Chain A
Amino acid sequence: MTRYILKRLLMMIITIWIIVTLTFVLMKAVPGSPFNEERTTNETVQANLEAHYNLDEPYIVQYLLYLKSIVTFDFGPSIKQPTETVNDLLGRGFPISFELGIVTIIVAVISGIILGILAALRHNGIIDYLAMSFAVLGISIPNFVLATLLIQKLAVDWNLLPPATWSSPAHMVLPVIALATGPMAIIARLTRSTMLEVLTQDYIKMARAKGLSPWKIIFKHALKNALMPVVTIMGTLLAGILTGTFVIEKIFAIPGMGRYFVESINQRDYPVIMGTTVFYSAFLIFMLFLVDIAYGILDPRIKIHKKGGGE
């Protein structure tokens, strides 16, 4: 197990290094610089600024400097908001984005699984049809459309919930609904289909033959087996939810990380681009790692620490 984790850590570091390199190349390939604005800057001032941020050095030196900043996790101050360091921005924005993302995932997973189980148990019944129509809608409506619709109806027309910003649990409701609906629909459909398959298995019949209660059969015997595919797509869903927050944060004026991420690219704020990219990718890779660990816990046949071992 320890060996496996060490191996995975090494892979993660290599992945992040590749992402950093690609980001650096793309950053430099895009024309423009943080100091290209409408007003013309004095050439000497421009040169001084560039020298200050080491932008006059050859690319290879700049690249190494970036690598150094990543290893020490010190990205320096933002070019556009020089009073704040990148770490300040992350420290302020990330907890909010994280809260939004985690609440969304919890809501999506729990409601998706419940909906999927209900649909499977009432296969071809009215609940099944309702749940699956709802799921199709959830998958097909993009979250930004849903978000604006929710704001218009629930916040503006009916005045039930606050339309934007981030200060109380009530403010959380609309963005979480907007973000969670899509993943929930995917999880519900997947849970339903795997559940239907699992319920026909011999071990479910055997569990019934033992005289177990329906609850025990569903939650102890069926669900654990039905969750495998759900765990598999969790990795992709996580990525979707995390990147999806950029748009949702913008719509709901939530002061999370998404804003800095998008703005930094528009403004060529190199340290912020680097900082947010590395942070996001490291976070995502770590989440995927957790998903892999979850596999091993759910299904004992998957031995993550032994390659090609067992049947």
Chain B
Amino acid sequence: MEKILEVNDLHVTFTTYGGTVKAVRGVNFHLNKGETLAIVGESGCGKSVTSNAIMRLIPDPPGKISNGSILFNGKDLTKLTEKEMRQIRGVDISMIFQDPMTALNPTLTIGSQLIEGLRQHHKISSENAKKKALEMMDLVGIPNPEVRMKQYPHQFSGGMRQRIVIAIALICEPELLIADEPTTALDVTIQAQILELFEKIQDTTGVSIILITHDLGVVAKIADRIAVMYAGKIIEVGTKREIFYQPEHPYTQGLLKSVPRLDLKGEKLTPIDGTPPDLFSPPTGCPFTARCPFAMEVCDKVYPFQSELSDTHHVECWLQDERAKQLLATSAAK
């Protein structure tokens, strides 16, 4: 399969008065054409920073992409100037933000916010731009688009606004769509509608999607592959099946155990104890050691190598080491 995006050894740091925060510490992943990759993890694990880094929207200062490359169709985005990057934002890569209530400018009409991206990047008459905007509003399921175009964001409900935000992101027909928690701010019924909309859009436009979320329910619905992020690193990546049915990293297992399930009525949820490490001075070993029920001596000292369980399923954990497996086997035999 053709890779549309390849992120190699990405490091992002933020320089603050308190010191340097290493928010993203060597992230590697890729995205194939037309697939949906979900990046999951708890708050502060660096998933939004990663997505902003791809868009080069990290505020500099204080933020900085300190190392690594982001190859989009073979072009390294970290090497582009701001001006070159502007030719890519909104045209080739688009972004959907978490909160539709604040993502739209309250003083501009929906129509003008839809059209301006189109007119910025393409030489197109306002007549044709308007036609395209109407098409997009129709695609995302907004009834009565002619009237709605002239209205302002405050005249729309949350779900409708998120549809508009999606329409804005898609109007230039991007190849890659980054959705940063697109359903977090919406209530559950609307969430389902928006997720269905994502599926429909991917079917009609073939866009590749990176979905940033902490909601495993959302992931189960629309992701093809899942990358689990913890303390600025991707600790496990695999297809949806692999992650949900054979999670290998103790953190992934913990995440799945802490999701409420309808079929396990009466059983208590198992939260992961403790908190993520301080990213001002991240541990040299595996960052999950302090919370890990299987922690070994080596975990605290050396960061684990990547183990390839299959072509698609990679995990970074010492439990995958042959010696650890032997140890577990012998202790089980006793």
A interface, CB within 8 angstroms of B = 201-203, 205-213, 216, 220-221, 224-225, 298-301, 310-311
Contacts and interface: CB of A to CB of B under 8 A. Distances in A.
A211 B104 contact: no
B290 interface: no
Interface string B178-218: 00000000000000000000000000000000000000000
Contact of A221 (B55, B86, B108, B109): B108
Listed residue (B86, B90, B94, B107) with the most chain A CB atoms within 10 angstroms of its CB: B107
Nearest to B178: A209
B325 to A, nearest CB: 45
Nearest to A203: B105
Contacts of A225: 105-107
A203 B121 contact: no
A210 B116 contact: yes
A212 B88 CA distance: 11
B95 interface: yes
B102 A203 contact: yes
B42 interface: no
B120 A213 contact: yes
19 contacts: A203-B104, A205-B97, A208-B57, A208-B89, A209-B94, A209-B95, A209-B169, A210-B89, A210-B90, A211-B88, A211-B120, A212-B86, A212-B117, A220-B108, A220-B116, A221-B108, A300-B107, A300-B152, A311-B154
Listed residue (A203, A209, A220, A224) with the most chain B CB atoms within 10 angstroms of its CB: A209
Contacts of A311: 154
B103 A301 contact: no
A211 B106 contact: no
B108 A202 contact: no
A205 B106 contact: no
Contact of B57 (A203, A205, A221, A224): A205
B52 to A, nearest CB: 9
Given A202-B99, A300-B154, A212 B107 contact: no
Contacts of A300: 106-107, 109, 152, 154
Given A205-B57, A206-B97, A216-B116, A211 B86 contact: yes
A207 B105 contact: yes
Given A206-B104, A208-B89, A301-B152, 16 more contacts: A201-B102, A202-B97, A202-B99, A203-B103, A203-B105, A205-B57, A205-B97, A209-B89, A210-B117, A211-B121, A212-B86, A220-B116, A224-B108, A225-B106, A299-B106, A300-B154
A111 to B, nearest CB: 23
Interface of B: 55, 57, 86-91, 94-95, 97, 99, 102-109, 116-117, 120-121, 152, 154, 165, 168-169
B116 A224 contact: no
Contacts of B105: 203, 206-207, 221, 224-225
A305 B99 CA distance: 30
A255 B244 CA distance: 85
Contact of A206 (B103, B106, B109): B103
A211 B90 contact: yes
Contacts of B91: 211
B120 A209 contact: no
A223 B117 CA distance: 18
Contacts of A213: 86, 120
B152 A209 contact: no
A298 B165 CA distance: 22
A202 B103 contact: yes
B89 A206 contact: no
A212 B116 contact: yes
A220 B106 CA distance: 12
A195 to B, nearest CB: 14
Contacts of A203: 102-106
Q: Give 5 nearest A-B pairs by CB, closest first.
A: A211-B89, A211-B90, A210-B117, A210-B90, A202-B102
A208 B97 CA distance: 12
Contacts of B109: 300
Nearest to B100: A202
A211 B55 CA distance: 10
A202 B180 CA distance: 12
B95 A310 contact: no
Contacts of A211: 86-91, 117, 120-121
Listed residue (A208, A224, A310, A311) with the most chain B CB atoms within 10 angstroms of its CB: A208
Nearest to B86: A211
Contacts of A224: 105, 107-108
A213 B86 CA distance: 7
Contacts of B165: 206
Contacts of A209: 55, 57, 89-90, 94-95, 97, 169
B113 to A, nearest CB: 8
A215 to B, nearest CB: 11
B120 A210 contact: yes
Contacts of B152: 300-301
B108 A301 contact: no
A221 B113 CA distance: 10
Contact of A298 (B88, B97, B107, B154): B107
Contacts of B107: 224-225, 298-300
A210 B168 contact: yes
Nearest to A205: B57
Contacts of A221: 105, 108
A299 B120 CA distance: 24
B54 to A, nearest CB: 11
Nearest to A303: B154
